A and B are shown apart, each in its own frame.
Chain A
Amino acid sequence: MAEGAKTVAHMRPGDVGIILGFLDDHLSIKLMEMGCLPGSPVRFNFTAPFGDPICISVSGYELSLRLEEAGTISIVN
């Protein structure tokens, strides 16, 4: 990953990806508890008016998180 991993924070509304892993140990547990699991598909739904926080679909429900947290979830798409 020469130019840094692609993360959920890089996605645009409507994009779909698969979660690869996490760039932050501390947040990873909370994110996993909330259903963001490596191997799960994730869809970027929309952002709040100022572009942050964002809403994603994961594990069959809608989750909102800040861009900062989204930036710790690496994905492939």
Chain B
Amino acid sequence: MIQAKRQKIALIGNPNSGKSSLFNFLTGLNQKIGNFPGVTVDKRSGYCQLSPGHDAEIIDLPGIYSIYPRSIDESIVSEILLNKNAVEYPDKIVVIADATNLKRNLLLVTQIIDLGLPVILALNMMDLAVKAGISYDFNALSKQLGVPVVPINARKGVGLDELKKCIEQTSTSPSKSIFKIWSDAYVAIKDLRIHFDVISDYGAYLFLEQPQTLHFLSKENQQKIDDLRNRHGFFPGKFQGAETIQRYTFIQDLLNEVTLKTADLGWKKNSQKLDLILTHKVWGYLIFLGILFFIFQSIFAWAQTPMDLIDGFFADISQYLNKILPEGPLSNLLTEGIIPGIGGIMIFIPQIAILFAFISILEETGYMARVVFLMDKIMRKFGLNGKSVVPLMSGVACAIPAIMATRTIDNWKERTITIFVTPLMSCSARLPVFAILIGLIVPDQKAFWFFNLQGLALMGLYLLGFFAAIGSAWIMAQIIKVKERSYLIMELPTYRWPKWSNVGLTIVEKTKSFVFEAGKVIMAISVILWVLASYGPGDNISKARENVLAQSQNERLTKQGLEDRIASYKLEHSYAGIIGKSIEPAIKPLGYDWKIGIALITSFAAREVFVGTMATIYSIGKVDESAAEGQKTIKNRMKQEINPDTGGPRFTPAAGFSLLLFYTFAMQCMSTLAVVYRETKGWKWPAIQFVYMTSLAYLSSFIVFQIMS
């Protein structure tokens, strides 16, 4: 059989039903991550060879319990399945169901069957079902549902050949529809199907039931459906409860017929025993804290070496290109703008990869649901949700993936608050800034017996960020008045070992999406900043050399010293320097001068740019020393910097702490603002967030500087 086009197969199932494992097995490394058009839900798709010469595209849809959506992630499923013109609209659907928990899983299965597309039911976790002593009559199940049923074990890859064969051979719609639509709704459906091309009655019924998922229709057509709804006295949600009951009645009868042996729940004994420890009022929190501590330790300890390597690698490329390319603005753009920009993105990969390795392991084992369970009561006091813990944890590495992780929170208010406060968690980009400033103002001494003062200061800053986050959440919870019910109804999956290939693929997926999503912004800003720092009005920049030579006629400068001074002169007279000087009056009360002002501005690309900017402003010149040495020199230069007003050092403890606080609180990350814009669908929240965080930073720095100096 020759196929005109590659078929699209959608993968649908409950969360925890093994959908990711099945997807990973079917597609292997042949995956790509994209976005569903118009929304920011990650779309995973990949290719699978069903039989020689016969490929299909597999599209992984978010895990759902029902076709009726409750969160943004969930609504994408009905949006795609109802929109015949969607690029992702599938030719066939594979529904995966957990065989150990068939009753609940079948609800979704029966809804998908009624949509009228060809459906294959993959009955997963057959190994556990066998262990639990469950057995089903597959033939009867298939006959009653009107779709082929294939038992599989997606963790081990058992039954996949049969599944592929079955996917290839199934081309007809389910032989029956399960839900009997009531007669008064039926009139409306018939009316709708005259005007709209919908392949099933149930699909048409969902058009009437879910106006919120019909974005793909034109305004006019949405209006038409509203009119139909009004004409027939049909309002969304009217029959949803009754529909669910009717489906479960069918499912109960079906299970009574096809179940040969019911479960003996003894196989869950170990999982239950584990829960007594892991959710214990003392051990539960201690273990969670221990795990957190271990994760952060690993992020900072293990990531250091690869980060230094990446740093050095990009510096080498820059230097090498600098040598071989002819002088000119284009080579400068490449070696000073673009390549360091790419380097600035790549340097975060180790931390992000390690963080997501841990998060993925915690999710795979089922422990993450327990963290939500443990933390919910506490988080609720601050206007958050147990599910806010994951974004807050991820925020320590980077706010961008953290904010994307808030999509699982279905309550709008709690999700918005979580997005709002996550950037206050000290992300890894702040670490280099903290490190250099703490090194500058905190003595390297032991306090008490074994606490290193610098280490304590660093920990203090992280805690400060955390308390600012939950404190701000509490304030926002008091301000935002929304009458949306908050609830937590969440499956606690049975504990199991993580599947390592799933962990690996998650790392690849998350890292890729960070590099491409955040990378674009960081890249663009780096280039803009490079332009601002390299060009200036008038001919000050082009005449930099002559001017510096004229100024330093009487000094005996080394060749290096002269170059340094020229670089410094250029920056001072560039647009960035001018901006820095113009904001000086505003930042003087915080203890900063225009040079720090430039650093504050350039930090908007990414905070760690602070260190690089400091290096340029204090004219260190070439970065050919090793990273550690380089830092030492920057530190020394900063130490020697004199404040002309006082005659003393510029970086007094007062100015240093003021700067530390500023970096802890300020919203200095364009990429985060861009992600918040995407996730909240507007500029309102990023704007409020920017103003709030920057004011908080300004005020606290002001107070600290004024008190300390």
Contacts and interface: CB of A to CB of B under 8 A. Distances in A.
B181 to A, nearest CB: 17
Nearest to B243: A29
Contacts of A69: 487-489
B276 to A, nearest CB: 7
Contacts of B104: 33-35, 59-61
B267 to A, nearest CB: 11
A52 B100 contact: no
A35 to B, nearest CB: 4
Interface string A33-77: 111010000000110111111010001111111101100000000
A23 interface: no
A31 interface: yes
B240 interface: yes
Contacts of A48: 279, 373-374, 376-377
Contact of A65 (B244, B281, B490): B490
Nearest to A32: B244
A64 B489 CA distance: 6
Interface stretch (B63-71, B540-548, B557-565, B638-646): B63-71
B358 interface: no
Given A55-B492, A63-B490, A49 B241 contact: no
Contacts of B492: 55, 62-64
A51 B248 CA distance: 31
B553 to A, nearest CB: 74
Contact of A55 (B263, B275, B284, B485): B275
Contacts of A55: 275, 279, 373, 492
Contacts of A52: 376-377
Q: Which of A27, A34, A53, A66 has the most CB of B within 10 A?
A: A53
B474 interface: no
B286 to A, nearest CB: 11
B107 interface: yes
A52 B378 CA distance: 10
A62 B489 CA distance: 11
A46 B275 contact: yes
B487 A64 contact: no
B276 A65 contact: no
A51 B100 CA distance: 29
Contact of B491 (A26, A28, A30, A63): A63
B490 A49 contact: no
B134 to A, nearest CB: 9
Interface in B35-80: 65-66, 68, 70
A33 B244 contact: yes
Contacts of B369: 64
B244 A49 contact: no
B491 A62 contact: yes
A8 to B, nearest CB: 12
A65 B280 contact: no
B285 interface: yes
Q: Which of B240, B284, B373 has the most CB of A within 10 A?
A: B373
Contacts of A45: 272, 275
A3 interface: no
Interface residues of B, number: 41
B279 A49 contact: yes
Given A26-B485, A35-B103, A53 B373 contact: yes
B243 to A, nearest CB: 9
Q: Which of B285, B488, B489 has the most CB of A within 10 A?
A: B489
A32 B245 contact: yes
Contacts of A37: 245, 248
Given A33-B107, A34-B491, A64-B492, A50 B378 contact: yes
Nearest to A61: B101
A26 B490 CA distance: 17
B671 to A, nearest CB: 34
Contacts of A51: 377
Nearest to B66: A33
B377 A59 contact: no
A51 B279 CA distance: 11
B210 interface: no
A45 B489 CA distance: 15
Contacts of B103: 35, 59-60
B236 to A, nearest CB: 12
A48 to B, nearest CB: 5
Contacts of B372: 64
Contacts of A62: 491-494
A38 to B, nearest CB: 8
B411 to A, nearest CB: 12
A46 B492 CA distance: 12
A64 B490 contact: yes
Nearest to B134: A60
Nearest to B369: A64
Interface string B103-114: 110010000000
Contact of B244 (A29, A53, A61): A29
Contacts of A27: 485, 487, 489
B597 to A, nearest CB: 47
A71 B276 CA distance: 23
A29 B240 contact: yes
Contacts of B489: 27, 30-31, 34, 63-65, 69
29 contacts: A27-B487, A28-B241, A29-B240, A31-B489, A32-B245, A32-B248, A33-B68, A37-B248, A45-B275, A46-B275, A46-B279, A48-B279, A48-B373, A48-B377, A49-B285, A52-B377, A53-B373, A53-B377, A55-B492, A59-B101, A60-B263, A60-B265, A61-B494, A64-B369, A64-B372, A64-B490, A65-B489, A66-B376, A69-B487
Interface of A: 25-35, 37, 45-46, 48-53, 55, 59-66, 68-69
Given A59-B104, A61-B101, A62-B492, 8 more contacts: A30-B487, A33-B65, A49-B280, A53-B373, A61-B104, A63-B489, A64-B369, A64-B491
